Structure 1
Amino acid sequence: MGRGKLTPQDLEAMKTISINLQRLLSESGMKQSHVAAVLNIPTSSFNEYVKGKSLPKAGNIQKIADFFGLKKSDIDPRFSSENTSAILKQISALANQLEPERQKSLLDYCRHQVAEQQAQTKANAEPSKSSKKKFAAYQYQEIVDKFIADEMASQDIIYLDHVRNAQDLYHAIGRHYENVVLYGEVSAGTGIWVGQERQETIQYPSPVPEHDLALKVNGNSMEPLFYDGDLVFVKKTKTIHHGQIIVVIVNNEAYVKKLYRKNKEIRLISLNPDYDDIILKKDDNIEIIGTVIT
């Protein structure tokens, strides 16, 4: 995409990319720093993309799209002209696999989307379009300000005048703790059974994210995202998608892995390249516990 002076189209693309990335992060429950680490994109650069202050290179857009199981055009409008017919073919192919009642629900959803698009087109043609855009920008800024305020409120305040060595930093960070109930361990390697009964209660530095299950990671196959002994917080959900980090039981052994669809295979991927992927067989018994939120 190149550097230099940005065109009006580039500036508009930055806004759209920012909105799309914030939505994907919110839906997946993943932190910006985690995604950046997995994709090998500098955290500062990824944060700029999310804030709409920097235009990603095409290669980074491809990395992000692959991670979330999307097309580049789903994230960056500059690629919206690519493979439009292919997208429609995919929608049609998936729709043919649905039961009649689900096909009807999909049709209703499409009609709703068309109605929204028509209403938006009409609104954009009205004389007050500029004022509406300003109001939308104001609402967006309010959301950003609230997010920042919440993040700041949840952090320990560290006065740098009091920090002289690493020991001072150890004392300053994580002084407030909350109770977390552990339900056993989940493997980042060969598989461990997840306990169904309450195991133990431990102290964990505040703030503890809202979760349904807390598990301890055993093994190093998910480094550098999760290390041996780390806690992962899991949210039970009725939906998952390609690219998410999930906790799944396969043939009575539990794993924390990245869900990935490659050609006709569904894989459970380790982030550590020293470990092979787990390729699910069609007769494997699986139970998806939920998605990892941190």
Structure 2
Amino acid sequence: MFSDNLKYLREKNNMNQIELATKLGRKSTSSISEWEKGKYQPKAGVLSDIAHIFNVNLDDLMNKDLRNENEVSSPKLDVLSIFNQLNLKRRRAVLKFAVKQLDEQRQENKNVITFPNKHNTTTIDVDGVLSAGVGEYLDDNSEPFSVTVPAPVPDNYDYAFKINGSSMEPYYHDGQVVFIKKVGQYRDGQTVAAIYDGCAYLKRLAVDDDGYATLVSLNPDYPNVRIDDKEGMKLLGVAFS
């Protein structure tokens, strides 16, 4: 059984006796020839090496007719094992082909346009607009309005605002809806919804050692807002989405 399996696997993998002998660290093919003729079998360690080279189970190598099994079912391909059996010239050819396929795949992916799935959106009412810029003037007569946002939306927010401006990029974008949660205390570094001097902002809160606050723009193209009158600033809550 072993002799037939050895010859079958060697020929199936386009390997001559010299190549197999080299992989097994032998200087001649005489042993390979005698194994395939069934004159004798190699030692257990060599049998294990042969099973590894051809990526088969050692018990299958010794006790199963691999020729008949592979005629009934398709062989399981081990690309790495096959690649390792190729000579240098053929390995380069395989790599060149694989790189070409990868480049073509990347180009195909660039041409794919993903359209929003209408089933993954929902409509909510927002409380107004926050400026991620130089200030959004608050009009006491402004009313909530409806916008379409990705679903699902958080269920524990206190306010929802639409962002106007790009001062908080890359984390928050113009036109995005941000959800605000009321908190009891505010900390340095939190992104907050704030009202100051008649304008509403979405900014990063910075508090210095003296207790003075600044509403910080993450985008360096936009100015920060220095709070000269802490009593005149109202914090609505912390952004969490």
Question: TM-score, with normalisation over the residues of structure 2?
Answer: 0.48
Between structures 1 and 2, the one with greater helix share: 1
Question: TM-score, with normalisation over the residues of structure 1?
Answer: 0.40
Return the index of the structure with the highest Cα Rg.
Answer: 2
